[in-house]
A and B are shown apart, each in its own frame.
Chain A
Amino acid sequence: MDEANRSALNEFWVNLKSVPSQIYRAMFRGGAPVSDRTRSSFVFGNVFLHLHSVRTHLWSLRWTATMGLGIITTAAFLITLVTGVLLMFYYKPYPDVAYQSIKDIHFIVPTGRFMRNIHRWAANVMVVAVLLHMARAFYTASYRKPREFNWFIGWGLLVTTLALSFTGYLLPWDQLAYWAITIGANIAQSPREITDAMGITEFFDIGGLQREVLLGSDKVGEESLIRFYLLHVMILPLVLAMLMAVHFWRIRKDGGLAKPVDVDDRVKADAEEHYPVFTEEPQKTYQLAAVVKGRTPAVGSGPENTVPSMPHLFYAELGVLMFTTLICIVLAFVSDAPLKELANPLVPENPAKAPWYFLGLQEIVAFSAFMGGIGIPMLCWIGLGLIPFLDKETEGTGEWFGGPGGAKLVGWSMIYGFATSIAVEAVAIRFGWLREWFPDIPQLVITLVNPGTVITVLYAGFSIWALRRFNSTRAGALALFTCFLCGFIVLTVIGTYFRGPNWEFFWSPADWNAH
């Protein structure tokens, strides 16, 4: 008994001494990722990493394949998450108090201003990156079967990202925030432009309902602030995180990123330079035929032209994360997040500008609230979502500007897209629009015919021309997408730099005061 006692004590002592190494082994169960087997278990043994596939195709690792844009978006989101939680320590979502708390964060809280700046910049980086990422997925024709569903998820991610930015815009409760949200909420109400014209607003006031549910009141006030706060710090981030998990998982399940059919002939030469392609002959094969669609896994030989995700993919992702962090930090040092005077519901900020990515819309809203704020954005949004179902050709998948027409068509579409939107805007700015020419014109005519709709029709016409000229739905899509992208850029630039007080045209912000 004495002996047994001593050995248990001994064992305890030995266990205690080896606790650190045991914890290490418990955490890194698979051992160091040095062989195919341990590299694989490194990935699928970890709930976060296993959203990735264990091996990555060399084609997808070339930086021109994705330009890292999806990862930049993810990284920017993570940065806003961390800095956002920190800001929540001090932020108080109540009118006027909110403004004071942002002021405290900006001027008193240690590192507060820095965190606020990073948060603001990372949010902007995220919006830019998500737009570019979408353009990448489009131009490389990566939305096609079997990736239609993931394009769909991405489509949801786009709106959620924009909604996150927009709800965050109100939180400082300064003049900029208050009037941007007032305008935004009234855009939600603008279906009244149509229901009024039809005389049915009394019975069917969808616009009024949307606005009321968004604001929780009949004007932007405490109810609205708490709603926007709830959406911004809780509902939308949760939705975004869930959609992101599905988005990543789908990439894996869809067989990695989209690749040209003849990809294996194209990247073969590179394989030698990558270490290690295979360190072990696969020893087992699995009967997966009932579970996996498509080609059965190769037996007795490994998949070709793939390399282990650890380290090749993960180190690349880490690099992109650090690069994004660096960008946000540098921007945060260079430029402070704005904070105007306390919100004043009686005196609008002049000019009252929405966040920059909505200024393109604000530019067309300045002709018709409904068309600019709801009609055309909805059309673009629905059109975007339907792309994979309307273009089901296979030529050019996985290649930049792949498909009939190719880069040349995109070039011409750019010229056309820029030229028409600039021309229509120039006419509207120089000569005014219908109301200035025919003062008694009914509102419905202006709702239907305004710079926004004219540009849309011109773009649609061009797209149909391209579709028929190349006899290809992909060519039509390339033309339309490119045109809208150019229109978005032109309108955003005009709204941002060339519109001043009273939304009048100015060649430079320096002239604003002369007014």
Chain B
Amino acid sequence: MTTKPTEKRSRFEPEPMPRRDFLGLAALASMAAAFFVSMFGMLKLPKAAVSASPSKKYSVALPDALPEGEAFVPPGRSVAVFRDGEGVFAISTVCTHLGCIVKPNANGFECPCHGSGFSKDGAVTKGPAPKPLPWLKVSKGGSGFVIDEEATVKTGTKV
């Protein structure tokens, strides 16, 4: 932008910066581009491509004498496995509220953190949990059963 020579300007408000200063704009644009490209790269970094957790699929050997209605918890896992007349099924014991581990009790499960209650098939009976406990996929395999924590099945599916 050029100023008319007639226009009188104060010493404290000199002529506006020449906006068409090509080099200046180019520098600015390259900085902006570099900033956004590098931000994109940097923001991708914190999200790992592969999660560093142990395998979610494992086999369990159910004790032969597991009474009906009693939970078997594979060592180190947050899953309760049951056997009844119709077959074997596994229910996740990770509370659907905020991730505490629920405890099997006489009526089903209870969560120690905010008092959610679940029935024997995982339905919410009490408290803040927004969803029922998921049933996990169980298949026959190897010496016993294979549980896949990543695959959920419809409530009531037994093998």
Contact = CB atoms under 8 A, between A and B. Distances in A.
Nearest to B124: A435
A334 to B, nearest CB: 30
B126 to A, nearest CB: 7
Interface in A42-74: none
A352 B126 contact: no
Contact of A365 (B12, B98, B101, B125): B98
Given A346-B101, A347-B101, A218 B53 contact: yes
B144 interface: no
Nearest to B102: A348
Interface string A211-227: 01100111101110001
A496 to B, nearest CB: 15
**Residue among A186, A216, A367, A436 with max Cβ neighbours from chain B (10 Å):** A186
A502 interface: yes
Contacts of B46: 213, 216, 227
A354 B36 CA distance: 37
A257 to B, nearest CB: 30
A369 B130 contact: yes
Contact of B47 (A179, A187, A209, A369): A209
A213 B52 contact: no
Contact of A502 (B48, B51, B115): B115
Nearest to A227: B46
B113 A352 contact: yes
A503 B117 CA distance: 12
B156 interface: no
Interface in B100-124: 100-101, 110-115, 124
A148 interface: no
B100 A366 contact: no
Interface in A364-379: 365-369
Contacts of A190: 98
Contacts, number: 96
A196 B128 CA distance: 15
B116 to A, nearest CB: 9
Interface in B109-159: 110-115, 124-128, 130-131
B127 A346 contact: no
B17 to A, nearest CB: 17
Interface size of A as a range: 35 or more
Contacts of B128: 365-369, 446
A336 interface: no
A501 interface: yes
B59 interface: no
Interface string A144-187: 00000000000000000000000000000000000100110111
Contacts of A319: none
B57 to A, nearest CB: 14
A350 B112 contact: yes
Interface in A397-450: 435-436, 439, 443, 446-447
Given A209-B47, A290-B12, A348-B101, A179 B113 contact: yes
B37 to A, nearest CB: 20
B69 interface: no
A501 B112 contact: yes
Interface string B73-114: 000101000000000000000000111110000000011111
A350 B95 CA distance: 14
Given A209-B47, A216-B46, A439-B125, A502 B99 contact: no
Contacts of B76: 346
A223 B52 contact: yes
Interface residues of B, number: 27
A351 interface: yes
B110 A502 contact: yes
Contacts of B114: 362, 365-366, 502-503
B127 A435 contact: yes
A393 interface: no
Given A216-B46, A367-B128, A502-B110, A183 B101 contact: no
B108 to A, nearest CB: 14
Given A347-B101, A369-B98, A503-B115, A443 B131 contact: yes
Nearest to A350: B112
Contact of B113 (A209, A227, A503): A503
B130 A212 contact: no
A205 interface: no
Contact of B48 (A185, A217, A290, A501): A217
Contacts of B100: 179, 182-183, 348, 352
A187 B112 CA distance: 17
A193 interface: yes
Nearest to A432: B126
A218 B52 CA distance: 8
A504 interface: yes
Contacts of B131: 196, 443
Nearest to A348: B100
Given A182-B100, A217-B53, A351 B130 contact: no
A71 B99 CA distance: 39
Contact of B52 (A221, A367, A436): A221
A22 to B, nearest CB: 43
Contact of B112 (A182, A186, A352, A369): A352
Nearest to A353: B113
Contacts of B127: 366, 435
Given A217-B51, A219-B53, 6 more contacts: A183-B113, A348-B113, A365-B98, A367-B128, A369-B97, A503-B112
30 contacts: A182-B98, A182-B99, A183-B99, A183-B113, A186-B98, A212-B51, A213-B47, A216-B48, A216-B52, A217-B53, A223-B48, A223-B52, A227-B46, A347-B101, A348-B101, A351-B112, A351-B113, A352-B100, A365-B128, A369-B97, A369-B98, A435-B126, A439-B125, A443-B131, A501-B112, A502-B111, A502-B112, A502-B113, A503-B113, A504-B115
Chain A to chain B: the 3 pairs with minimum beta-carbon distance, closest first:
A350-B112, A366-B114, A186-B98
